[in-house]
Amino acid sequence: MHRMDIMYFGNTVRIWLIGTAVLVASFIILLATLRVAQSKLKTLSASTTTLVDDLAYQVLRATKRYFLFAVSIYLASFLLKSGSETRLVIYRGFFLVCLLQVSSWGSAAITFWIEGYLKNRSLSDPSIATSLGLIGFSVRFVFFALIVVMAIHNFGFDITTLVAGLGVGGIAVALAVQNILADLFASLTIVLDKPFVVGDFIMVGDFMGAIEHIGLKTTRIRSLSGEQLVFSNADLLQSRLRNFKRMSERRVSFVLGVVYQTPAATLERVPGLIKSIVDSQENARFERCHFLKFGSSSLDFEVVYWVVSPDFNVHADLAQSINLGIIRAFAAEKIEFAYPSQTVFVQKEAVPGS
């Protein structure tokens, strides 16, 4: 018998050599194809602004050599004669390697999405950067859980009972940590809905301050008096928030009272005086000034104007300048400001016989 016809494990030496040659050739071809594709995609991604080629390049970079070697072995195995049990072992082993490679591709895609798309948005929205870890962990957890379930099913185990057990266990765990999960989902809601971001100045009930940090469970606010306020994310979303950072303009309204002894002709000039004072300011826009009501000790004018800047310092400077202007104008017109007072009129009765 020729040496090439000697049988080993059900196949001749000739078949083993052909299978080995197919394995080596397949691995070399696959590796060369991968490198060429990576080079082409790298050049393409550098010359375009689309995300598809960038994603394809990152996914190809995550291709492992052991996967290419496993593909080569699987192709070469078709040349060999083997029993059904051996073929099943080869198939399950190859399927497991494929799952490992898919997990690498999926992880690369998730990383590209988070570090690319979300991080680009975080340049204008700092709150997203604080929750990248939560989003990445959640997506990866679900993805790898599916990989593990498929791997267990591949080895012949019944996953129905396992999935049912995980469902019951998941409910029990969710009930035990429902407060923590509520804050985690609230953090995700803050990231997606963006009621506020880091740096915004907000008011929650009687508390106000600037957002310093948005975490997975809590949000930290630096108050005006200097201390740090810590709110749970769930409680914060259930509260009514006032976000002052998002104001484009600031509306100012106040009531101005003058004494009852002021003549009607002088009262008619008050709205015009107020309008000229407000219009003389650079960052103010006059809306109205009306003699609205008779107060208990004054004739009341309501003044409304807009500060065309959200900056509180601009508002304070304008309010001071306008108030001083009103005082000077009223002094020049001899208009007296009213203050809470009572006037008692005493009627003297005539004495009989006087």
The pLDDT tens digits of the residues spanning 156-166 come to 766 666 666 66
Higher pLDDT, 27 or 112: 27
Whether 66 contacts 97, CB under 8 Å: yes
Average pLDDT of the residues of the chain = 81
Whether 310 contacts 250, CB under 8 Å: yes
Q: For residues 314-327, give the mean pLDDT.
A: 94
| pLDDT > 80? residue 9 | no
φ/ψ of residue 205, rounded to 5: 60, -120
pLDDT tens profile 10-20: 667 777 788 88
Band the pLDDT of 28: cuts 50, 70, 90.
Answer: very high
The pLDDT value given to residue 265: 93
Determine the Cα–Cα distance for residues 124 and 157; give it in Å rounded to an integer: 49
The pLDDT value given to residue 56: 85
φ/ψ of residue 50, rounded to 5: -75, 155
φ/ψ of residue 209, rounded to 5: 170, 180
Pairing of strands 250-258, 218-223: unpaired
The pLDDT value given to residue 16: 78
The pLDDT value given to residue 233: 85
Please give the order of strands across the beta sheet that includes 250-258: 250-258, 299-307, 284-294
The top-level CATH class assigned to 250-333 is: alpha beta
The pLDDT value given to residue 142: 77
The pLDDT value given to residue 7: 65
Largest interatomic CA distance in the chain: 165
